[in-house]
Amino acid sequence: MQNKQILLNSRPAGMPTTDNFRIENTVTPEPKDGEVLVRTLYLSVDPYMRSRMNDRKSYVPPFALNEVISGGVVAEVVDSRTANFQAGDIVTGMLGWRLLSVAKAEELRKVDPRLAPITTALGVLGMPGLTAYFGLLDICNPQAGETVVVSGAAGAVGTTVCQIAKIKGCRVVGIAGSDEKNAYLLNELHVDATINYKTANVKEALAAACPNGVDVYFDNVGGEISDAVLLLINKGARISICGQISMYNLERMDVGLRPQPLLLVKSAMMRGFIVIDYAPRFAEGVTQLGKWLAEGKLKYAENIIEGFENTPRAFLGLFAGENLGKQLVKV
Ligand SMILES: NC(=O)c1ccc[n+]([C@@H]2O[C@H](COP(=O)([O-])OP(=O)(O)OC[C@H]3O[C@@H](n4cnc5c(N)ncnc54)[C@H](OP(=O)(O)O)[C@@H]3O)[C@@H](O)[C@H]2O)c1
């Protein structure tokens, strides 16, 4: 069977380009005992992959040069040498960007196509959904009537955070980079106010959207947007540091507002987290998210690009804000 893979061709300086990736033909491996051969159906592209393109140690090791990029996939079992899976099963796991891959049984989890569309395993019922669930509820404990500000509000994590905050009875203010995205947040997800950070004066717009200040801030982007939110926090505010995408392509860290004095006088809490910290509670998260989905309380959006060769372009689109909801590649 013809196989293809995508490798890290070079490390980016600043904003990555398609030249940092290389697509090549490769052989299809044979599964051994305890392994399965899978055909990739959907690939997930995620902002954290940008950090893995640098030769710098982080919470996950960097991608090696001239090695296959890996990430979340949904795949179909083609050939199985384990009792755990059979041909035709739909599975998810962290696998290489390949058309066909061999994986060990313990690297994969079955996806039940009867429960929800299989793409949700990479989105609202997968890593981004769990990030929203634990990053908001565990860190910020939002209460009815409180004001919750969400940056990166129209992305995979942000759309879920906005809706969970609404389920909890909060006033939700979403910040996103286009009027189309903000219309979706207002009309489909029923957030209370939105700000287009590319066209508005963010400080003024935030002050107008948060007349009672900010109790909870879910930070997906960092930078000047977060500086502006910090100036409005209330006594006892909780800030969840989920992502800092505005800084991922900077070659030198910029220094912004120093938050400590604001946190001090407001007795406020700011905490970073990595979703894997919550691995022992993932089943709880997936069950609750699945229940909200089934009850119609939770919606999700997907931006699906077709074609394996377009995976690098889909990844780069995250930094240009091309996605509304979860960015996926249909192979
Ligand atoms: N802590 C964790 O474990 C964890 C897990 C998953 C994700 N994350 C983080 O959570 C954030 C969201 O992830 P996601 O998967 O849901 O991605 P996403 O929000 O679906 O996609 C990225 C979005 O970020 C926005 N963006 C890009 N460059 C920006 C900039 N310079 N300033 C402001 N916004 C910018 C774009 O939307 P606009 O059109 O609005 O600009 C883009 O659509 C990322 O920072 C990611 O690293 C953290």
pLDDT over 90 at 285, yes or no: yes
Mean pLDDT of 55-82: 95
Atom of ligand 1 nearest to the CA of 276: 3
pLDDT tens-digit readout, 203-248: 999 999 999 999 999 999 999 999 999 999 999 999 999 999 999 9
Question: What residue's CA is closest to ligand 1, atom 2?
Answer: 274
Probe residue for ligand 1, chosen from 182, 194, 199, 221 as the CB with the greatest number of ligand atoms within 8 Å: 221
User: What is the phi-psi region of residue 118: left when phi exceeds 0, alpha when psi lies from -120 to 50, beta otherwise?
Assistant: alpha
Q: Is the pTM of this model over 0.95?
A: yes
pLDDT tens-digit readout, 170-190: 999 999 999 999 999 999 999
pLDDT of residue 253: 84
Q: Specify the length of the chain in residues.
A: 331
Probe residue for ligand 1, chosen from 245, 276, 304, 323 as the CB with the greatest number of ligand atoms within 8 Å: 245
Average pLDDT over the chain, rounded to an integer: 97
Percent residues over pLDDT 70 in the chain = 100
pLDDT of residue 1: 73
Q: Which residues of 281-304 are buried (b: 16+ CB within 10 A; e: fewer)?
A: ebeebbebbbebbeeeebbbbbbe
Task: Name residues contacting ligand 1 (CB within 6 A).
Answer: 46-48, 128, 131, 152, 154-158, 176-178, 181, 220-221, 242-243, 245-246, 273-275, 318-319, 321, 323, 327
pLDDT over 80 at 251, yes or no: yes
Q: How many angstroms is it from 318 CA to the middle of ligand 1?
A: 7
